Chain A
């Protein structure tokens, strides 16, 4: 019973406990008076860093609103582009072009992106080298610069094997390949979050693998999949660089069509207006930025809301 707490304090134990208390106090107290200041400075620096990020976002949004406000109106959406009359020019054909291109992107990435994710999560044997290759490949493609996809589009889709020409469909295909890794990665994460017990229950009741995926796994993963798709669509809506290479041209005066004729998109049109020297075109470009930011932020916040709303832990 060496550590008996009721043991009366002899001279020796009293000395030991006093010494221990003194040691602890000197270690914690002395240090904390100095460390307190460094801690406060450190936290202040962290908050400063964070506020730089948040402040620049706020500055960008308010500045765009102020700069573009003079031209904000319905005719901005309904009028076509013009090189000579900036006060009447609008984004009609560019917005229609964006709708065509992004519509094509959705039609491609939903089946292909979700399909690839289902294959990798539900069917692929991860021990096989080809499946690991596909996985590494997708991670890598997610980091390839968008302009390189533009080069691919120029060499393979506009010209070369597919030879579609400089049309909206070529823009769709190029952007779809660009955002496909985003969709696949998001859809895989959503599928992975569905617990194995749901699949096993379905299989045990006699459903085939595909029936299990279609009726159980995929519906359970749907919010996550949808979030990934919307984020990808938002990115495609704002993307300009690869489209410069696959033929989105400056001034399209006629409403564009998907498979023939010239097209432009909202970000490309904004870029082209901003290149012109006159002040009116800058204002016009900034008004376009407001429209584009409105669309993209709406999609992004819907995606975030969707994820938070339907996020469930199994």
Chain B
């Protein structure tokens, strides 16, 4: 009754305040907490950068930039340590090469099939199955590569020299299979974002499905497709367990797919497992390699994010 009285007595409704009846401190506290959660991601990135950079600066005060980037021997744990980073960079590139050689054709074929040819029912089955492949733990994929794929490769390609137990080619192919779902799902999204009117225009002019897929949909979705490939490359650069198990730990400048190599990630994971004392050169070397790895994947990810944004802007 009191509120109605005050409302009617104060000359209509116009003077009634729109202000909240209480300061709502709980509401404000909740917003502050939520904003803090959002901010945490920035804190994490800053922490990554800081935690990588401080030991890296330490590292370069002990090892010159030339010794890191111009030498071609990587033997950091020996008394006369050599820190030429190229062998492990080459190891990583080797893995990425074989991975993409498998992942691009397989992933794109799956994507074109899913987006242009598959019936809705087939899509509903195949997409989750590909997601299952994406969810297999990398340790399991590494063991599969090392214990099943390498012996199989020896049987299938007997003319190659399989004297090494570890093989960068097999590891790369396994990493490639792992990244197929990534390429398939992002490229599929990009191709499905192409408006149906473009396809209908193509059909109306007498083009068949092959031509519509390859000459209209594919070019229209190319930024998303390239983004998916860049992301797969970034994933292959950062993959650790598969290469640690199947590609071995021998730093080598080789392009022979049957030989063992060490990648940047395998070096970090293989060296940091022991309890290495902080501040030693061994400890700092891990961080120097980590900085290189982080910079490489960061650059690839930024390119991919920009490309994905482009196809979203055009069609959505």
Contact between A245 and B301, CB atoms less than 8 A apart: no
Give the contacting residue for A241; candidates B128, B210, B265; CB below 8 A: B265
Contact between B135 and A151, CB atoms less than 8 A apart: no
- Assuming A289-B139, A289-B140, is B129 touching A54 (CB within 8 A)? yes
Contact between A53 and B278, CB atoms less than 8 A apart: no
Residues of A close to B181: CB separation below 8 A: 53
Residues of B close to A31: CB separation below 8 A: 206
Residues of B close to A159: CB separation below 8 A: 278
Q: Of A11-19, A69-77, A117-125, A253-261, which binds chain B? A: A117-125
Contact between A60 and B140, CB atoms less than 8 A apart: yes
Contact between B286 and A53, CB atoms less than 8 A apart: no
Contact between B297 and A145, CB atoms less than 8 A apart: yes
Contact between A151 and B132, CB atoms less than 8 A apart: no
- Bound together, the chains give a CA A236 to CA B41 distance in angstroms of 18
Among B114, B117, B273, B298, chain A packs the most CB atoms within 10 A around the CB of B273
Contact between B238 and A145, CB atoms less than 8 A apart: yes
| Contact of B186 with A by CB under 8 A | no
| Contact of A297 with B by CB under 8 A | yes
Residues of B close to A63: CB separation below 8 A: 144, 148
Contact between B239 and A145, CB atoms less than 8 A apart: yes
Q: Of B46-54, B80-88, B191-199, B252-260, which binds chain A? A: B46-54
- Dominant secondary structure of chain B at its interface with chain A: helix
Contact between A240 and B241, CB atoms less than 8 A apart: yes
Contact between A155 and B287, CB atoms less than 8 A apart: yes
- Bound together, the chains give a CA A11 to CA B275 distance in angstroms of 97
Contact between B206 and A57, CB atoms less than 8 A apart: no
| Contact of A209 with B by CB under 8 A | yes
Contact between B40 and A143, CB atoms less than 8 A apart: no
Number of interface residues of B (CB under 8 A): 94
- Bound together, the chains give a CA A241 to CA B270 distance in angstroms of 10
Residues of A close to B278: CB separation below 8 A: 159
Contact between A143 and B268, CB atoms less than 8 A apart: no
| Contact of A133 with B by CB under 8 A | yes
Contact between B139 and A270, CB atoms less than 8 A apart: yes
Residues of B close to A141: CB separation below 8 A: 41, 44-45
Contact between A123 and B112, CB atoms less than 8 A apart: no
Contact between A35 and B113, CB atoms less than 8 A apart: no
| Contact of B314 with A by CB under 8 A | no
Across chains A and B, which 9 residue pairs bring their CB atoms closest together, nearest first? A145-B238, A49-B109, A238-B137, A115-B37, A155-B51, A241-B240, A119-B34, A143-B301, A116-B37
Task: Return 23 A-B CB contacts under 8 Å, by A number.
Answer: A28-B206, A119-B38, A124-B38, A140-B45, A140-B301, A143-B304, A144-B48, A144-B294, A145-B265, A148-B238, A152-B44, A155-B51, A155-B52, A184-B41, A208-B24, A237-B137, A241-B244, A245-B273, A271-B139, A274-B147, A292-B139, A293-B136, A293-B137
**Residues of A participating in the B interface, judged by any CB pair closer than 8 Å:** 27-28, 31-32, 35, 38-39, 42-43, 45-50, 52-54, 56-57, 59-60, 63-64, 67, 111-113, 115-116, 118-120, 123-124, 131, 133-134, 136-141, 143-152, 154-156, 159-160, 166, 177, 180-181, 184, 208-210, 231, 234-235, 237-241, 244-245, 247, 267, 270-271, 274, 282, 285-286, 289, 292-293, 296-297, 300-301, 304, 308
**Residues of B participating in the A interface, judged by any CB pair closer than 8 Å:** 20, 24, 26-27, 30-31, 33-42, 44-45, 47-48, 51-52, 55, 105-110, 112-114, 117, 124, 126, 128-133, 135-144, 146-148, 177, 180-181, 184, 206, 208-211, 213-214, 231, 234-235, 237-241, 244-245, 265, 268-269, 272-273, 275, 278, 286-287, 290, 293-294, 297-298, 300-302, 304-305
